[in-house]
Amino acid sequence: MQNIPNEEMAALWNGASGQAWVDEQALLDQTYQPIEKLLADAVTASGARSVLDIGCGSGATTLAVTRILGPRGQATGIDISEPLISVARIRAQRAGLAANFIRADAQTHAFAPASFDMMISRFGVMFFENPVAAFANLRRASTNTGALRLVVFRSIAENPFMTTAERAAAPILPNIPARKANAPGQFGFADPRHVQRILEESGWSGVELAPIDVECAFEATALERFFTRLGPVGHALRDADEGLRNQASQRIRAAFQPFVRGAEVRFIAALWMVSARAAS
């Protein structure tokens, strides 16, 4: 099985996109805290002792699991982004938590065999260039009784909030890349048949996808940062002149009004909770 390196994703997440997520760490943690809790609760219910957080970003979920495990276990986060892993390590040190963080590509990293009895991810697994190779590598790192719990986005149609900015800006920002079905990216695991095929071909069994709808919120004062710093529009605006940025911001701000509730922005994240077992 060929292990193709995630060169494009490595460049993206070690560059401006990774730095944007570092800068907006507090906003993202606030927004996705309910999903962090879902995964933390799954770890609690499992009785796991050694947990790998795949695509851990700045470490919020890894740190939450570390608090749950306490001295009886170990949580490890892995991410391809040096800026995000650096922040995760600093957060762990400041909190006095013994979380372990690895700056590496989970698709190709040489994990110790059978070293984790549970693997989790909050939006961290949809970006592999070769997902079958990645999950085969992760399967080798799992114990034979290990479990997998992944939270990923369902379809674009079910997540209108997530594409509001690009739909509003498309007439004036033609450089926004088109979304491609099953391609690496935010909605890369939207198709349940695609996800099941990947996991089964890579050695996982008992694959199940349960639809969950999670209400997320953040302060309305952060809305402009959300759409100008993050996602495809944030990427497209980095090289835009001030006039174009202002024009795009006005259009996008108006498009988001249906999601503004007083002092908060509120939306429903339509997700899959993906479950699988290492045992055949």
Contact predicate 22/87, CB 8 Å: yes
**C-alpha distances out from residue 155 to 20, 189, 191, 207, 237, Å:** 25, 9, 7, 19, 25
- Structure tokens of 240? 């835009």
> H-helix or E-strand containing 41?
helix 33-46
Q: Domain 7-155+181-215+271-277 belongs to what architecture?
A: 3-Layer(aba) Sandwich (3.40)
**pLDDT at residue 123 is higher than 70:** yes
| DSSP assignment string, 11-39 | HHHTTHHHHHHHHTHHHHHHHTHHHHHHH
SS3 (DSSP) at 100: strand
Of the candidates 12, 46, 25, 45, the one whose C-alpha atom is nearest the C-alpha of residue 184 is 12
- Mean pLDDT along residues 43-69: 97
**Exposure of 262 in the CB half-sphere (CA atoms within 13 A):** 2
Of the candidates 54, 47, 57, the one whose C-alpha atom is nearest the C-alpha of residue 26 is 57
Q: What is the pLDDT of residues 187-203, one digit of tens each?
A: 999 999 999 999 999 99
Of the candidates 124, 248, 243, the one whose C-alpha atom is nearest the C-alpha of residue 176 is 248
Q: What is the pLDDT of residues 212-265, one digit of tens each?
A: 999 999 999 999 989 888 888 888 887 788 898 899 999 999 999 999 999 999
What is the model's pLDDT at position 1? 34
The model's pTM is: 0.93
What is the model's pLDDT at position 3? 41
